[in-house]
Amino acid sequence: MTRLTHLDKRGKARMVDVSDKPETKRVAIARGIVKMKKETLRLIQENGFKKGDVLGVARVAGIMAAKKTPGLIPLCHPLNISSVDVDFSLNNRESTITIESKVSITGRTGVEMEALTAVSVAALTIYDMCKSADKEMTISDIFLIEKSGGKSGLFRR
């Protein structure tokens, strides 16, 4: 059975010691979906919200969130992130926005949580900026697509 790395031998939470791990290039890609009314998506596309450019603000929020992940997730290591990309794909037929983040680092631990946090906060920002028009939006399917680097190597969903 796989042992959970964030628990010590007595089952208590701990921060994993990564000081002996070699530095490698590590990349994580995460994705999530925001579903909304067709009118809400149209307003986003036309920049029709008084709060401003919804996707531009959500992109910056996602980038900031990736950098602040250790302050939100208790056992995450503070990292010197090399890059964060947050992109959006709009689907008019489904009335959805797919958010994808890619986080990179050269370090001793992975950036999966940073990528997932970027997607989550970008989605929440879209909700916040558009809730005046659509309180029924849903945020769903936030998951890790891919990670590379480190001892465990490549993972692809």
Catalytic residues: 128
Residues 6+ apart with CB under 8 A from 151: 21
Angle at 89 between CA 83 and CA 94, to 5 degrees: 150
> How many CB atoms sit inside 10 A of residue 130's CB?
23
143: number of CA atoms within 13 Å, CB side? 6
Residue 119 identity: V
Answer whether 58's CB lies under 8 Å from 86's CB. Answer: yes
Q: Angle CA(14)–CA(18)–CA(22) in degrees, nearest 5?
A: 165
**Within 10 A of 143 (CB to CB), how many other CB atoms are there?**
12
